[in-house]
Amino acid sequence: CNFVVAGSLTTPSRGPYIAVITNRNTNLVIRGFMLFSIGVFLALVLNLLQVQRNVTLFPPDVISSIFSSAWWVPPCCGTASAMIGLLYPCIDSRLGEPHKFKREWSSVMRCVAVFVGINHASAKVDFANNVQLSLTLAALSIGLWWTFDRSRSGFGLGVVIALLATLSTQLLVYNGVFQYTSPDFLYIRSWLPCIFFAGVITMGNIGRQLALYECKRMSGKTHQD
């Protein structure tokens, strides 16, 4: 540390410390914005699949985007994505278990592709009954976690957040904000928690990869200094 001598007192200079904190806060905001943007984009694309298949129906007076989605859906999904993407690396750090399984962007992109495929299957593929569809999507979602995550914290957070998201959706449907064409489980579709779980794992992986990239970049700057 650098020290400033004033008379007989010696105090540490806080310049570098403040700079580090400022950089971390700035990087946190940038990561949050990137996660929010990704969440908005995925919400628009995936909701388009659901609406085209008539899985979800919004009242005509709230249709306001070119993707036939209520205006509040993308911002809500973006906000949730940012929170999940920032929470995952934070939990890893708190538990002292840094996630090192398949830490490269190509793996993250494949995870996103599989998630989109799972959502596409829920809207496009015809199954004999809803139970078969739900079990298939549950297996695919767990398979996504096993292939791209495999952490206990990731699985636990995925389950908890998926249950909370499902409950929130049930409340929205109950209050008439939107509806499902063929609800089979308390106003919603029984496979919805599987989609939420897969989405949480996907955004968690993106958040972890962004945090890892930031850590490597900061370490490089420290070595250069």
Tell me the domain boundaries of the chain: 25-220
The DSSP-derived string for 37-86 is HHHHHHHHHHHHHHHHTTSEE--GGGB-STTS-BTTHHHHHHHHHHHHHH
Give residue 187's region: left, alpha or beta (phi > 0; psi -120 to 50): left
If you search the block for the tokens 């990239």, which residue do you land on? 213
* Per-residue pLDDT, 8: 43
* Per-residue pLDDT, 26: 82
Tokens read off for 125: 């593929």
Check: CB of residue 161 under 8 Å from CB of residue 141: no
Give SS3 for 100. coil
If you search the block for the tokens 């908005």, which residue do you land on? 40
If you search the block for the tokens 């695919």, which residue do you land on? 140
Give ∠ CA 154-158-163 in degrees, rounded to 5.
160
* Per-residue pLDDT, 203: 94
* Per-residue pLDDT, 119: 85
If you search the block for the tokens 């096993």, which residue do you land on? 146
pTM over 0.85, yes/no: no
Cα end-to-end distance, the chain, whole Å: 13
* Per-residue pLDDT, 211: 87
Amino acid at 135: L
* Per-residue pLDDT, 196: 92
The stretches in the chain having pLDDT less than 70 are 1-22, 49-70, 97-102, 126-128, 178-187, 216-225
* Per-residue pLDDT, 122: 74
Q: What is the pLDDT of residues 33-64, one digit of tens each?
A: 999 999 999 988 887 766 655 555 555 544 44
Could you give the C-alpha distances from 90 to 73, 85, 206, in angstroms and in order? 26, 9, 13
